[in-house]
Amino acid sequence: MPSDELLTAFIDGELGAAERDRMEKLIADDVRVAERFDFLSRSDLPFREAFEPVLAAAPSAKLDAMLAAIPSTKEQKKAASGISRRGFLSAIAACLVVGIAIDRAAIGINHRLAKPDEGTEWRAVVAEYLSLYTPDTLSAPAGDHAEQAAQLSEVGSKLGLTLTPETVAMPGVDFKRAQVLNYDSKPLAQIAYLDPESGPMALCIIPSTRGTSEPDMENRRGMNVVYWSNATHAFMLIGHSPIDRMKTLADGVRASLAV
């Protein structure tokens, strides 16, 4: 199974010819690789930059030894190659039609299966990205009030929202930065915070036409999520803080943004 860094380099066209050919064959022959490739291809989030500090600290020799010790049999290879990518996706579609829950481990997320119209994919991508954050990721100074206001104003203009330091402030949590990412050809605002008690936290916003929905909660990649939507945007607050505190913080910022 190639690393996410290698898959991202393939997506970005940064591999040599031989390695590119090898990756194309892996994607064609291995359902797991194809699924991971599809997942990483769905957005333009900067996965490569996010993975660099993790990869730098990884115990490569120990990991290589562990991988080398995993048995590989002809039967396993035959089973993996005998399922076409199209057949695998068709099986997923069939499961959804009859209401069968797909094995959550197969798609790499740890949350209850949501209804197809709840926009779960973008929340999965955000959780995947934020799970790489550590307190050091957000250690840079946030700037003064004027700098924060300018940053939020620029981000808000991309989404058609009025964002100010006051509307996104949360008690006991430090604002760190605001940036615009890209998901599925749509702007995705990420407002990052550092909670002294639980670490990185983020309020993320994306344009949405799915209509208004009241706050709901879930858990993704070991983090608690509160999400909701209005007529024009979908919102999620994600972090490691206990769910009751996350709900309280979300209620406060939701009220501020509605003003």
Q: What is the pLDDT of residue 103?
A: 37
- Residue 170's DSSP bridge partners are 173
Q: What is the pLDDT of residue 137?
A: 92
Q: Whole-angstrom Cα distance, residue 78 to residue 75?
A: 5
Q: Whole-angstrom Cα distance, residue 121 to residue 128?
A: 11
CA 18 distance to own-chain centroid: 30
Q: What is the pLDDT of residue 136?
A: 93
The three-point CA angle 141-147-151 to 5° equals: 100
pTM of structure: 0.57
Q: CA torsion sign, 51 to 55 to 58 to 62? A: positive
| Coil, strand or helix at 75 | helix
Of 197, 138, 141, nearest to 172 (Cα)?
197
CA distances from 224 to 70, 111, 198, 221, 245 (A): 33, 10, 11, 9, 10
CA 177 distance to own-chain centroid: 18
Contacts of 141 (CB under 8 A, 6+ apart): none
Which burial class, exposed, middle or buried, applies to 7 when counting CB atoms under 10 A from its CB (0-12, 13-18, 19+)? buried
Of 110, 119, 132, 103, nearest to 4 (Cα)?
132
Q: What is the pLDDT of residue 45?
A: 55
Q: What is the pLDDT of residue 173?
A: 96
HSE at residue 13, side-chain half, CA atoms within 13 A, is 0
| DSSP H or E segment with residue 63 | helix 60-68
Q: Whole-angstrom Cα distance, residue 226 to residue 252?
A: 12
pLDDT tens string, the chain, 259 residues long: the values are: 888 878 888 887 888 888 888 888 888 888 888 888 877 776 555 555 555 555 555 566 666 666 566 655 444 444 444 544 444 444 444 444 334 333 333 333 333 333 333 468 899 999 999 999 999 999 999 999 999 999 999 999 999 999 999 999 999 999 999 999 999 889 999 999 999 999 999 999 999 988 899 999 999 999 999 999 999 999 999 999 999 999 999 999 999 998 6
The three-point CA angle 143-198-60 to 5° equals: 95
Q: What is the pLDDT of residue 169?
A: 96
Q: Whole-angstrom Cα distance, residue 252 to residue 169?
A: 9
Of 100, 118, 128, nearest to 216 (Cα)?
118
